[in-house]
Structure 1
Amino acid sequence: MLAQLSARRVHRRILETLAYHPEASAPGRHLRELLAFGYRQAISCIFPVFIFGMLSLSHVLSPSWLPRYDFLLLACIGMQIYMYLAGLESKREVLVITVFHLLGLIMEVHKVNVGSWSYPEQAYTKIGGVPLYSGFMYASVASYICQSWKRLDLKMIRWPVAWLSTLVAIAIYGNFMTNAYLPDVRWYITGAIVIVFWRTKVSYATICRKRQMPMIVAFLLIGFFLWLAENIATFLGAWKYAYQHAGWQMVDWHKYTSWSLLIIVSIIIVSQLKIKKYSLLNWWSTVRKEKKEDEAMQEKA
């Protein structure tokens, strides 16, 4: 409870500082809007930033009797508990993040066992050569999306029908799992994504107005920043690609498309869950309204 009150108090104070002031000059208003947007993005990234912080500090903080990967797992679990207790994530969001953790682990086990990358350090908490903490790197992507959704009041405009977007997500994940044995069809999938999401836009709130961005541009931007994050993660020893064992090298640009596709899967899953949730809420609201109208009619009778 104290953690929740403290986090909310600090958050409220920062938002008050960045609040919209109509008397400010045009450059001043734009600067405040940019800073407010950057701040909301930053706090939406709290889980990913924590993981990168732990990766950089784990060589120093991890006790000698505990393998580094196991230390990272305990740190991630602790952070997840804190975010829930502090009110930063709801039970529903924790459930979504857990699903991403499991999907990520399944893909990690597959990719490690086909030789795509490896986790060379020892750990007690490894399954199929994959440390359990690695699932939190995928979970942190889901955490970012969930946080951004509520902090930036995201809304999807002209989102494709459910079966079509779900089919795209299945195709992307399926290609990830089979491209070691079958032809890699990511460029065909990318073409399909452009067609399916060409008219889709994402609406987001700043301190004074609603803005829109083409969904495809959002996919590319987030994928690019994830690729940058992957370079940092491999530099800090989170995992290694085959060409990095002799010494660190920049992650292949080929992986940029992988991260862009991964974020598309993540956004599709979260968006479909949000749309389903709002549909159920609207249905329940309609039911309650009709019930009240019926009760009012019966009283008049």
Structure 2
Amino acid sequence: MLAAFDNLLMDDRPRMLAGLRRGLIEFLYFGFKNARSCLFVFSFMAIVLLMPRAGLFGIPRYDLLLLVALGIQFWMVYAKLETWDELKAVCLFHMVGFALEAFKVSGSIQSWSYPDFAYTKLFGVPLFAGFMYASVGSYIVQAWRMFDLRIRHHPPYWMAATIALLIYANFFTHHYIGDYRWYLAACALGLYSRTVVIYRPLDRDRQMPLMLGFVLIGFFIWLAENIGTFWGMWRYPNQLGAWSIVHISKWSSWSLLVIMTFTIVASLKHIKSKIHIAEA
């Protein structure tokens, strides 16, 4: 059924639509395609919200969440809702996210913590945690296909890779040499100032600034992070006594992380042939 739904959403034959009716239908398709691209995100978040804190059948909830996340991923590949190449991109981002998590929860940093017991904890991080980062990669991978994304005026690829590496490094180094996220954000803004993403919600191409897409995705991740901390999946130090909203500065962190994710996905999907490299 989902495969048939995908075919329906991706049917870009010309429609005889105009005015308000076209705008409304394109808006609905835009929403449906985004929701479909969030298949893994929605499935995983639903399990997170429904899973009892004590776990089930004597199995801790962190361990069950790992099993469920693996099950969802392999089901998506089996049902041809995700290709093996797309799964590789998701797995790579899982490893990148897990490395960051292990550093952030370490004894000398303790930016946040996972308070519950689990058999599948490594360096204080439950293995399911990497899938929260992989969810971002999964969304971008799926959206690329659903919207037939094309990028125009992409900066030279080595520059994009460099800024992505610096963004990732800053998540580690800011504990020792200062936080340079706003300098990196300014560099990214200059780098992607002319870059636009071309997407197809229905049968016609539309476009938007790529940086706006990064910021919007970062905002929705920040909202999801508030849900996760509210349900006690992890806690920031200021939330140990009582829950409070995640600081708005995390929005900027997530937006920068989306830039890094985008670069990883773009590289692994071998889509350079669809990218227009800006001339010097």
- The answer to which structure has the higher helix fraction is 1
CA contact (8 A) 1:70 1:125 kept: yes
1:152–1:15 distance in 2 versus 1, CA, 3 Å: closer
Q: Distance in 2 between matches of 1:90 and 1:21?
A: 29
Computed over aligned residues only, the root mean square deviation of the Cα atoms, in angstroms, reads: 2.0
Any stretches of 5+ residues in structure 1 without a counterpart? 1-5, 281-301
The count of aligned residue pairs is 272
> Is there any run of 5+ residues in structure 2 with no aligned partner, and where?
275-280
Q: Report SS of the residue matched to 1:115.
A: coil
Residues 53 and 61 in structure 2, CA contact (< 8 A), matched pair in contact too = no
Query: Shift in Å at residue 208 of structure 1?
Result: 2.4
Letter in 2 for 1:174: A
| Aligned equivalent of 1:89, options 82, 85, 90 | 82
In 1, the alpha carbon distance for the partners of 2:181 and 2:18 equals: 47
**Following the alignment from structure 1 to structure 2, what is the Cα–Cα distance between the partners of residues 98 and 261?**
20
Q: Residues 65 and 224 from structure 1, CA distance in 2 versus in 1: closer, same or farther, beyond 3 angstroms?
A: same
Correspondence for 1:118 among 113, 136, 144: 113
Q: TM-score, normalised by structure 2?
A: 0.92
Contact kept? 1:20, 1:29, Cα under 8 Å: no
Partner of 1:243: 238
Q: Distance in 2 between matches of 1:52 and 1:255?
A: 19
Query: Counterpart in 1 of 2:158?
Result: 163
Runs of 4+ with >6 A deviation: none
Deviation of 1:279 (Å):
4.5
1: CA distance, partners of 2:236 / 2:13: 45
Q: Deviations over 1:213-256 (max 9, x none)?
A: 11111111111111111111111222110111111110001111
Q: Distance in 2 between matches of 1:148 and 1:80?
A: 16
Query: Residues 193-219 of structure 1, C-alpha deviation per residue, up to 9 Å, x if partnerless?
Result: 111111111110021210111111111
Query: Which of 15, 33, 36 is residue 43 of structure 1 equivalent to?
Result: 36
Q: Please, which of 128, 135, 140 is the counterpart of residue 130 of structure 2? A: 135
2:265 to 252, 262, 270: 270
Q: 1:15 to 1:92 in 2, by over 3 A?
A: closer
Q: Does 1:189 align with 2:177?
A: no
What are the equivalent positions in structure 2 for 1:193-212 lying under 5 Å apart?
Answer: 193-212=188-207
| Residue 229 in structure 1 maps to residue 228 in structure 2 | no
The AA in structure 1 aligned to 2:4 is: R
Percent of matched pairs sharing the same residue: 41
Aligned partner letter, 1:57: L
Report the Cα distance in structure 1 between the residues aligned to 2:252 and 2:197, rounded to whole angstroms: 21
Deviations 1:151-171 (A, max 9, x none): 001111010111100110010
1:104 matched to 2:97: yes
CA distance in 2, matches of 1:56, 1:109: 24
Q: Following TM superposition, by how much is the alpha carbon of 1:270 offset from its aligned partner in structure 2, in angstroms?
A: 1.4
Partner Cα separation in structure 2 for residue 93 and residue 14 of structure 1:
19
Within the candidate set 167, 172, 183, 1:172 is matched to 167
Considering only CA atoms, is the larger Rg found in Structure 1 or Structure 2? 1
Amino acid at match of 2:190: I
